[in-house]
């Protein structure tokens, strides 16, 4: 690799649990309501298992969890089929669009971190498990709060599909004019999001405290003492590390220091 371009060019952020919606509540709460409306109640911890996938895929994956699958079979006499997923997805979408604003608050430290990155000349990309209709509702709310990425890819913008495939991350690379995928960092709070970045050939940073695996609001997290925080943090860190994340931190506010470490590794000729 030429010495000319051995520096970071872009950071590609996830949305819920990463930049907005501390604890990633918007998707899970709607899923609880949708499954409950057809007489198959699911638990919050079940709704969180497939987080990071496109929402149709998320619903399908939920239907395959052993406990949910058993309840579905008890209710309907058969396993969940694609037509059932379609029906639940049609119920899910308008509710998600209507409620995404209630969970659109920026995660503490996000604006300062993004401002620091822009001050270093980095481009800001983004992608999400949300479909375009949800992103179209969320983007202006985020902009009003001060966050406007240079590019955003929704999970249904591309025909190959969403995570854990690399396509949304690579679409950002193309649109942002990044010269080398190894000069990109993917930041995400879910396993599929980390896998997305790795498959795209990027550095990856997992977020434990603000994300889906811990699943607490900012106020709930702040109210914990150090011992309780570590009890919640440890499984989330282990999950993201097992997925292959190069680094795991609590929230996006800690990202600038991690980028210093990645820059130093690039200068030494290391690759993701």
Other CB atoms within 10 Å distance of the CB of residue 9: 19
**152: β partners:** 126
Q: What share of the chain is helix, strand, coil (3-state, %, to 5)?
A: 55, 10, 35
Give, for 196, the enclosing helix (H) or strand (E): helix 191-199
Instruction: Cite the active site residues.
Output: 14, 55
- Count of helix runs (H) and strand runs (E) in the chain: 12, 6
What number of residues does the chain have?
272
Q: Cβ-count burial of 175 within 10 angstroms (0-12 exposed, 13-18 middle, 19+ buried)? A: middle
């Amino acid at each position: 690799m030429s010495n000319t371009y051995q520096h970071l060019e872009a950071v590609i952020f996830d949305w819920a649990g990463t930049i907005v919606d501390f604890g990633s509540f918007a998707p899970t709460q709607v899923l609880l309501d949708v499954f409950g409306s057809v007489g198959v109640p699911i638990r919050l911890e079940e709704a969180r298992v497939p987080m990071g996938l496109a929402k149709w895929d998320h619903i399908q994956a939920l239907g395959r969890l052993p406990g949910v699958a058993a309840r579905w079979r008890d209710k309907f006499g058969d396993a969940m089929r694609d037509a059932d997923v379609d029906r639940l997805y049609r119920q899910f979408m308008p509710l998600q669009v209507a409620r995404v604003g209630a969970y659109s608050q920026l995660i503490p430290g996000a604006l300062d971190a993004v401002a620091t990155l822009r001050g270093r000349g980095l481009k800001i990309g983004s992608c999400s498990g949300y479909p375009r209709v949800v992103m179209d509702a969320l983007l202006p709310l985020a902009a009003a709060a001060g966050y406007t990425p240079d590019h955003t890819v929704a999970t249904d913008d591309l025909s190959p599909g969403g995570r854990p495939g690399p396509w949304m991350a690579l679409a950002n690379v193309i649109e942002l004019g990044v010269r080398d995928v190894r000069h990109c960092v993917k930041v995400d709070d879910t396993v599929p999001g980390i896998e997305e970045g790795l498959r795209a050939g990027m550095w990856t940073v997992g977020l434990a405290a603000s994300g889906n695996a811990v699943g607490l609001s900012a106020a709930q997290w702040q109210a914990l003492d150090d011992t309780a925080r570590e009890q919640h943090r440890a499984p989330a860190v282990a999950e993201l590390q097992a997925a292959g994340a190069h680094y795991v931190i609590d929230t996006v506010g800690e990202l600038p220091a991690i980028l210093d470490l990645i820059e130093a590794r690039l200068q030494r000729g290391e690759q993701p």
